[in-house]
Structures are given as C-alpha cells and as structure tokens.
A and B are shown apart, each in its own frame.
Chain A
Amino acid sequence: MTDIAIRVENLGKEYRIGTQIDSYPTLRDTIMDAVKWPVRMLRHGYASTVETIWALKDVSFEVHQGEVLGVIGRNGAGKSTLLKILSRVTEPSEGYAEIHGRVGSLLEVGTGFHPELTGRENIFLNGAILGMKRAEIERKFDEIVDFSGVEKFIDTPVKRYSSGMYLRLAFAVAAHMEPEILVVDEVLAVGDAEFQRKCLGKMSDVAQEGRTVLFVSHNMSAIQRLTRETIVLEKGKMILRAPSPQAVDYYLSSGFAQTGERIWQADELPVDSSPFRPIALRVLNLQGKVVDTVRSIEPTTIEFEYEINSNVPDLRVGIYLLNTHGEHIFTSFDTDDPSKYERYGVRSPGRYVSRCTLPADFLNEGRYILGVNASVFRVRRFFQDEHALAFAVDSTGAPGMQWLETRLGLMRPRLVWAIQELSS
C-alpha cells in the first residue's frame, strides 16, 4: 500500500511571457522583429529581452497507488501546468517528477477528433492518440459506443453531431483507456447533468478499482465526495495538503482578499475567453459602496463588469452563490427573464455591467462565495470563475436578534408569523 504512483520534487515551470499563443506572428511582425532583433541584442543581450513567470514553483508531493488526490486553486494557480507536466505534454523547467505506470489524461476530451471522419473512425483515431492499441480499441468498441449513447450515428461524420453527442463520444473513448494513473481536469464542468453524473460515476469506478487519480476541479462538492486528500495551489506554489474538507474550507475562506471587489488582471484570464473579458465583480451595500460585509436586513447589489469584443449571440452572464463548503445556493443569469433574453439576443461589442440585487432578509450571517459565468448555453463557456469573491453577511437587526444564538441554515428570512390563541 505504500507503493508510490507519483512523486514530485521541487517541480517548477517557467513560461516566457510575450510569446502568448493567442495570435500568430504575422509576416509583418516577423520582419519587424527580424529588423529590431539585432538592435535589441546589442542593447540588452538575449536574456534580458525575455520576461518570464513561474507558473509553478517548488511543488513537492507524493501520491500513493490507489489514492485519489484533489487539486484545487484559483484560475492561474498552476493546476493545469501541473497536469500538463505530469501527462508529459510539457517539460518542467526545474525539479523532478517520477510516474509509475501509464498516465491517461482527461485534460481535454476529443483531442484529435476529425470532423470529417465518422464516429466509428474517430473512436479508433482518438483511441490511438490516447495510446490505446488497436486490438484494445476493437475489444472495447461496443462498450464505448454503448457508453456514449450515439449508436445510431456511429457511421455519420462527427461534424453533424450535436455538441452533446460529440462530447459524450469523446468522453466515452477517454473513459475506456484504463490507465494506471488517471489525470482529470474539469471535464465535469461541461455537458448536461446526466453526462456529469456519468463522468463522476466513471471516475469513482476508476478510483475503486485501485487506480490512482489526480482530480483537478472547481467543483468543491465533487472534490469532497471523490477525494480524501487535496492539495491547494496558489500562484504556482503548493500551500496546503490536507484532508479534503479542510483543504476546501481553507481555500474558500482564507484564499480571498476581503475587499468586496474582485478585479481580473490580464494574466488571470484563460486564453480562450475572448471575445469576453471580465473586468470586475463587486458587492455593494444599500448606499452603493463597495463593501466586504453586507447587512442581512438591507438589500445587496452584486455587479459584474465586463467587456465584449465582438457580437455574441445568446450570451448569458450570471453569478453563483456558494457557501463555504462549496455548495451552491443558487445560480442566476442576467437573461433568465424571457423579456431580457429577447432584448439582449445579441450583445454588440462594448463595456457592460450586469447588476442584480439580493433582497433584504435573505441570507443568514456567515461567509459566502460568489462565482461568475459567461456562456452560451450548450455551445460555449467563455469564462467561469466559481470562486471569484467572498463576502460576509452581518445579521445585526435581523429577526430573532433578541436571542444571542447562531441560527442554523443559510437563509434568514423575515417571515410573517401569525400567532393564534386557540383556547384560554
């Protein structure tokens, strides 16, 4: 039982910034660079022309065989970099990692799918890309098709598939590769509830078969359900390894600056969020001031400021409210109301604020987490940060304050009671 599956020692990854992947260098750029290059070389020498950041630094941990380890952290904390190194997509810049056994990654399902090929052909192609042998794919073919639920369309080119079907087929292939070590990153954030349930089921199957799983997620309840231990990454460093409930609690309660405002810096944005760019999320009190603590007896305004660079049809921008265990209290989108949905069918480029108000006498005292999401239903998720901002609720003046006790529950409604005397 003490067999090591993954050993990571002082692992670090340095990225050059300025060599972002979001734009191709054009001919003009390359010529201009070529012209400027010798000058730059003379002035600064090669090394100083390159700015670097450490996406991961001094990370060390061990995972035993059969262990399911959670990895949590905010956007840009280094989770994806860690998984990319462990799945051998990219090399570490320093340190050392040792992996015992075949690694299967669910970093991105459907890698290598070709739209012109049929479902059947893509199963074989994708299987081979994931490192499965042809005989192995043939043996599992029926099972894969069955799991995906696209039997009828198996000989149709996948470009005719709906995005849901595409995803299910892609996941089905990935889920059948039977690696000794499975690396999962956020696949569960996509697809419908039924599909997510299937994914989680498959993951716990894998874990129960005694295989090692490294599970990266923003879904705190999934982390707590599926893992016993979790590591917390922050700005590329590992700051905690603890039993999952403790790690989640730490991450959700102390991982935030308490300012009532969250501003997104350019380096915190995923490369694929464009044309959507989040700017800020704010919690405002009745007077319109940005506060970290709101009063439960007053309405609270939540505003999300963002920018759109091109026309986006059917965009919805919304918030999640979570408790400190990472459980969702509600989800709400700015175009939930059908009339708003009609009116903002297509949002043109520009800067926007989506604002909503939590009514007075709504939340109980305690700490809450706000998340944001900008997406087009079933088509694309531009941006999501499930734990963007934390704020506190103070219940001074709330119903029942004459008793100095902690009221159980997440809500503190002011209910109208009628007291009727039935006999005297």
Chain B
Amino acid sequence: MAETAIKSRSTQEVIVLRPSRGWASLNLKDLWVFRELIYFLTWRDIKVRYKQTVLGAAWAILQPLLNMLVLTVIFGNLAKMSTGGIPRPIFTFAALLPWGLFSKALTDAGRSMLTNRSMITKIYFPRLIIPLSSVLGGIVDFLIQLVILLLMMVYYKVMPTAAVWTLPLFLLLAIVTALGFGLWLSALNVLYRDVNYILPFLTQIWLLVTPVAYSASEIPQRWQMIYALNPMVGVVEGFRWALLGTQAIPWNVLTISTVISLILLVSGAFYFRRMERTFADMI
C-alpha cells in the first residue's frame, strides 16, 4: 500500500500556475490527454443538432438540396453559366458538399466559445477543444450528403473518376481551412461580439467568391492567382475534379490554397492560445 502510494506520488505531475505573457505554446500534449472530450463534445453536437425538429436529420439532406435548387435555377436558367458538360444539379451539389461543411463549421466554431461559456468559466480543459469539436461535428452531415450525391451520380449516370481517392485530402483541406478561420473567429468573438453579426455576411460573400454556383474557369486567367488566395477555390474545384472529372485544377492554384489554409490554421491556433488566458474573464 505504502509503496503504491509513493509510486503514484512520484509520477504525479506538478502544475505550475503563473501569469503568462506573449505567445504560448500550442500545448498539443494537453489536447491529447483530453482527446476523449473532443469525441464527446463532437458527439453531443451531432446528437442534439436536430432534436425537437419535425424532420430531424432529414435537414442534413434538405438544406443542401434546397441550396442546390436555388443555385441551379439562378445560375443555370437565368445566368446560363457553363458547367463543362456536367449535369448542373450534380455540378452544384458536388460543390455544395464541401462548401456546406465549411460554412457550417465556420459559423459553429465562430459562436462555439459563447455557446459553451458556462463550461469555460467553470472548469479547466484545453479551450482549443471547443472550436475543434464544433468543426468536426459537421462531418456526419457531410457523409450523409455524400451518399445523396453518389445516388444522384447514379441517376445522372456520371462515373466517379480514378482520382476519387484524393477526395479525403480535399475534405481535410476544407476542415483545415474552416478550423483555421474558425479559431480566429472564436477567439475574436470572446472579445468582440461583432463577430456574431459579421458571420452571416462573411459566409455569404465567401460563397460568392467560391466557385460553387459557377466554374472557376469563368474567372479570367490573370485573376486566377489572386482568386486562389481563397483556399475554398482549391477545395471546391478539387471535389469536382475528383468526383466528376471536370478540368483538373492547376497545381499552383492548389498549392496556394493549401499554403493559405495552413497559414490560417497555424496562426489561428497561436492567436487562440494567446487569447485563451483571458477567455474566462472576458467572456
């Protein structure tokens, strides 16, 4: 007995609390220790999302389908933009999949600190978990929608290309972008509630500068590099390319998108960590 007591004692970690200044390390070790909390919070978000709705999880399918309908009518029948020979509904839906994941993750992550304020002011855990799990919560919706897309492809007799294996990479890119930006927004939202008001506009404008309703090839060649600064361009075009075999995205566009989204993620994480120490007092 005594021996085990001593043993457990010697393995005990010592936590030192003192005021910190400047940039903090990401403390990924702590994140790993609390990995189960990431799982449980993600699971909670998924579980309660469609509670007390009449249609329940059907909303996961209905939302992008309605979006698809609107965008197809406006951009196909009115604006008559080219899809490169792909049936317009699939053309749009394939883009709405990663876009839906991204915009929802951005909105949820941006608000996540406020919706979980009671936890933040009462208990310690790595705060990064909150925006992280709200981003991950969208993946289930995404997977359901992916099944619908595959069914639509069967209906329209569109075969996935051989490059379909790259899909998870583009999904990852979407998640990284959303998380990176979500980290910035969630930390800013603690201090400035303005973020709540900016979010809807932000996602609307971002939708317009992302080739969801139209093809990236509509953008003049000389603007392509600037256009690629929006990491969602790489993601959306990548999805179409991998699934529907549209024109391949140029490597430089993809590289710029990836680099930008990684910069967003790393800077977002450090900014979040820097602001983290004030969260409990400011929120």
* A residues at B contact (CB < 8 Å): 3, 15-16, 19, 21, 24-27, 30, 65, 84-103, 105, 107-108, 111-112, 114, 116-117, 121, 124-125, 128-131, 133-134, 180, 210
Contact = CB atoms under 8 A, between A and B. Distances in A.
Which 6 residue pairs are nearest across A and B when measured between Cβ atoms?
Answer: A88-B124, A128-B40, A97-B17, A90-B280, A108-B122, A99-B15
A89 B16 contact: no
B36 A128 contact: yes
A92 B19 contact: yes
Question: Interface of chain A, helix or strand or loop or mixed?
Answer: loop
B29 to A, nearest CB: 14
Given A89-B122, A95-B18, 20 more contacts: A15-B281, A27-B194, A30-B194, A65-B9, A91-B17, A91-B19, A98-B16, A98-B17, A99-B15, A105-B123, A107-B122, A111-B123, A114-B44, A116-B52, A121-B44, A128-B36, A129-B37, A129-B123, A131-B125, A210-B5
Nearest to A95: B18
A10 B108 CA distance: 40
Contacts, number: 116
Interface string B35-69: 01101110010011001100000000000000000
Contacts of B13: 101
Interface of B: 5, 9, 12-20, 34, 36-37, 39-41, 44, 47-48, 51-52, 116, 118-125, 192-194, 197, 277, 280-283
Contacts of B47: 116-117, 121
A87 B121 CA distance: 11
Contact of A96 (B5, B17, B124): B17
A81 B120 CA distance: 14
Contacts of B120: 89
B283 A21 contact: yes
Nearest to A34: B194
A27 B5 CA distance: 56
Contacts of A121: 44, 47
A94 B18 CA distance: 7
Residue of B9, B16, B41, B123 most packed against chain A (CB within 10 A): B123
A54 B201 CA distance: 40
B44 A94 contact: no
Contacts of A129: 37, 40, 119, 123, 125
Nearest to A65: B9
B5 to A, nearest CB: 8
Contacts of A86: 17
Contacts of B51: 116
Nearest to B6: A3
Nearest to B197: A27
B52 A25 contact: no
A98 B119 contact: no
Nearest to B276: A91
16 contacts: A21-B283, A65-B9, A85-B17, A88-B124, A89-B122, A89-B124, A92-B18, A97-B16, A98-B14, A100-B14, A108-B122, A111-B118, A111-B122, A121-B44, A124-B40, A129-B40
